[in-house]
Structures are given as structure tokens and as C-alpha cells.
């Protein structure tokens, strides 16, 4: 009976499943969260989730199934799902996959609504970025219930699957680019005599505050830049210097490099290299 089902179950209980559960327990009773892995999903014990060694227990007991194992393990999960279908023991109304490079077409054989989503590490602090796309048979109800549960994790943004790699290049790889930018600002401050700790806190909060301000006030990057750069002032001097050394094109090229690499990995995964 639907009433007795748990809200959500994770197949795989590694780094990302733990980060997601840490966030969603602020909204869900931990006892309505289940997780499975070959070693018993013990990493999720500390959140009070129901842990198991059996993936089919998740299919049988949870409304939403999240596939959170390594992409190479997905074929095994699909096989277990089909075995459960034969036994008529699936109660889940749909599946969410967080596995990098696993496309909706690969998940079609599940024959149920599917959401492909790519959380980034920001979910640990409720400030993740989660681009997602949905299968053709995904219902509005399923999408709404998943997004409602994931709401404490950060900002989810729907994109067509053909743009998924572009979205992932921003939200998945962006944290590494931004960390590099922060590190550069810290080095700059240290060169002028600031302690590393002070420079680090100033740089982190400045990046955080800038993103928050732009999102919350719907301010475009150019509008914000114009506000900060007063005529003949110090900020415009810095911006002009960044333009001279190709900052903007470096970032755009770095993003393109992530897409090329993703395509190379997708070809390798399909045995085309
Ligand atoms: N880490 C990230 O920043 C990140 C970001 C976005 C997306 N992802 C995606 O998230 C997925 C998991 O990544 P991760 O970093 O969390 O990996 P991880 O820490 O290595 O965790 C993998 C988990 O899968 C479990 N597992 C292995 N075989 C399984 C099977 N047959 N059935 C069920 N569970 C199985 C492992 O169980 P045992 O512990 O029992 O061996 C482990 O709990 C990947 O597909 C990755 O692409 C990760």
C-alpha cells in the first residue's frame, strides 16, 4: 500500500548519497529514507536512515529510487530492476539518476518516469546547483515530488538533455574554476601583506555574496560590474587588466575543454574509442 512506502531510497551510499541525505534530513524524517550498497550502506547510519545490503528492498519499499552508485555499476542495477519487475515487486513510482554520463536513453529500459540530475558539492551546505532533465514519460507529479524533497539541497534548474554537458560544465566543474579564482585573490592579498586566513575569508565571502546578490536581486553580471566600477576608479583599472590578460576567453575555453572531455569519456563508455 502506497501509505506504507518510504519517501526515498538511495541505491549506493557513497560521498554524494551522504551529502544529499545530510541535506534532505532537514525536511524528511530519516526513517523515511532508505539506502543500500553491497556493504550495507553503513555510511548512512549516522543520519538515521534505514540501511540495507539489498537494492531490491529499495525498489520494493520506496516511492522514489535514486541511483547513486558509480556509472559502471548502472548496468547491474538495471538488471536487478528488471528481475524485480518480473517478480512484480516494484512499488517505486520513478527513478532519479545522479550518475555522470548516464543518459536518459540508457535508463529507458526501466520503463518508468526518470529524472537525470547532476548535484555538485554545494549540496553539503544547502547551496548546491542541480541541473536536471526528465524522460519523455516523466509525470509532473513525479517531478514535483522529487524537486520538493531535493529543495533543501540548493537550486535545481531544468535543462533539455542536449544541453546537459554545457550545464554540468558550469555547475559541476565551475567550483574548481572558482576555487582557482579564489586562490588567486588570496595570493594577491598575501603578496600585499594580508594573512592567508584573512585574505581567504575575504575572497570566499566576496564570491558567495556576489552570487547571492545577483540571484536574489536578479542582477546581470554587466549591471553589477557597472555598479562596482566607478568612472576612473580602482575597480575598472582591475577589470581592464583582466581583459588585457584574456580572463574572459580563458574561462570560456576552460568550459569548452570540459565539454570536449565529457564527449571523449562518453565515447569511451560506449566503446567507440
Ligand atoms: N562525488 C561527487 O562530487 C559527485 C557529483 C555528482 C554526481 N556524482 C555521481 O554520484 C555517483 C556516486 O559517486 P560517489 O562519489 O558518491 O561514489 P562513491 O563514494 O564511490 O560511492 C559509490 C557507492 O556505490 C555503492 N555500490 C557499489 N556497487 C553497488 C551496487 N551494485 N549496488 C548498489 N550500490 C553499489 C558503493 O557501495 P559500498 O560502499 O558498499 O562499496 C558506494 O556506497 C556517481 O555515479 C557519480 O557520477 C558524484
All domains of the chain, ordered by start, with CATH? 2-163 (3.40.50.720), 174-266 (1.10.3730.10)
Which residues 6+ apart lie within 8 Å of 51 measured at CB? 13, 34, 35, 36, 40, 41, 42, 44, 45
96 lines ligand 1 (CB under 6 A): no
For atom 48 of ligand 1, the residue with the nearest CA is 16
- Residue 14 CA to ligand 1 center (angstroms) comes to 5
- Ligand 1 binding pocket includes 32 (Cβ within 6 Å): no
> Cβ(14) to ligand 1 under 6 A?
yes
Q: Establish whether residue 100 lines the binding site of ligand 1, counting it when its CB lies within 6 angstroms of any ligand atom.
A: yes
* Ligand 1 binding pocket includes 121 (Cβ within 6 Å): yes
Euclidean distance between CA atoms 224 and 210, whole angstroms: 9
Q: What was the pLDDT predicted at 272?
A: 59
Q: At 51, is the secondary structure helix, strand, or coil?
A: strand
CA of 146 to the centre of ligand 1 (A): 20
CA of 262 to the centre of ligand 1 (A): 19
Element (H, E) at 76: helix 74-86
- Tell me, in angstroms, the distance from the centre of ligand 1 to residue 217's CA: 37
Whether 152 contacts 183, CB under 8 Å: no
Is 68 a pocket residue for ligand 1 (Cβ < 6 Å)?
A: yes
Q: What are the average pLDDT values for consecutive 10-residue runs of the chain, which has 273 residues?
A: 81 96 94 96 94 96 97 94 94 95 92 96 94 97 97 97 96 97 98 98 98 98 98 98 97 97 82 59
Residue 15 beta carbon below 6 angstroms from any ligand 1 atom? yes
Residue 98, ligand 1, Cβ within 6 A: yes
Closest CA to ligand 1's atom 21: 14
Q: Is 18's C-beta closer than 6 angstroms to any atom of ligand 1?
A: no
pLDDT of residue 4: 85
Say how many Å lie between the CA of residue 205 and the centre of ligand 1.
31
User: What distance in Å separates the CA atoms of residue 121 and residue 172, rounded to the nearest whole number?
Assistant: 8
- For residues 44 and 35, the answer to whether their CB atoms sit within 8 Å is yes
Ligand 1 neighbour 102 (Cβ under 6 A)? no
- pTM score: 0.93
Amino acid at each position: 500500500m502506497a501509505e506504507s512506502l518510504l519517501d526515498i531510497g538511495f541505491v549506493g551510499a557513497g560521498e554524494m548519497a551522504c551529502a544529499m541525505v545530510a541535506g534532505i534530513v532537514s525536511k524528511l524524517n530519516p526513517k523515511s529514507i532508505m539506502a543500500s550498497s553491497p556493504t550495507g550502506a553503513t555510511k548512512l547510519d549516522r543520519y538515521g536512515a534505514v540501511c540495507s545490503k539489498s537494492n531490491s528492498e529499495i525498489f520494493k519499499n520506496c516511492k522514489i529510487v535514486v541511483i547513486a552508485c558509480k556509472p559502471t555499476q548502472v548496468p547491474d542495477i538495471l538488471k536487478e530492476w528488471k528481475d524485480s519487475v518480473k517478480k512484480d515487486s516494484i512499488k517505486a513510482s520513478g527513478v532519479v539518476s545522479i550518475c555522470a554520463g548516464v543518459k536518459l536513453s540508457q535508463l529507458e529500459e526501466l520503463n518508468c518516469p526518470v529524472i537525470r540530475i547532476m548535484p555538485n558539492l554545494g549540496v553539503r551546505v544547502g547551496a548546491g546547483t542541480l541541473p536536471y532533465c526528465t524522460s519523455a514519460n516523466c509525470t509532473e507529479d513525479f517531478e514535483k515530488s522529487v524537486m520538493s524533497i531535493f529543495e533543501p539541497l540548493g537550486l535545481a534548474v531544468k535543462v533539455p538533455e542536449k544541453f546537459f554537458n554545457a550545464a554540468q560544465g558550469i555547475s559541476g566543474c565551475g567550483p574548481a574554476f572558482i576555487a582557482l579564482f579564489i586562490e588567486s585573490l588570496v595570493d594577491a592579498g598575501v603578496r600585499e601583506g594580508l594573512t592567508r586566513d584573512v585574505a581567504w575569508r575575504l575572497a570566499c565571502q566576496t564570491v558567495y555574496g556576489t552570487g547571492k546578490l545577483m540571484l536574489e536581486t536578479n542582477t546581470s553580471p554587466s549591471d553589477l560590474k557597472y555598479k562596482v566600477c566607478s568612472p576612473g576608479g580602482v575597480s575598472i583599472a582591475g577589470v581592464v587588466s583582466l581583459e588585457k590578460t584574456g580572463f574572459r576567453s580563458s574561462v570560456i575555453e576552460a568550459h569548452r575543454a570540459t565539454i570536449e572531455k565529457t564527449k571523449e569519456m562518453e565515447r569511451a563508455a560506449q566503446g567507440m574509442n
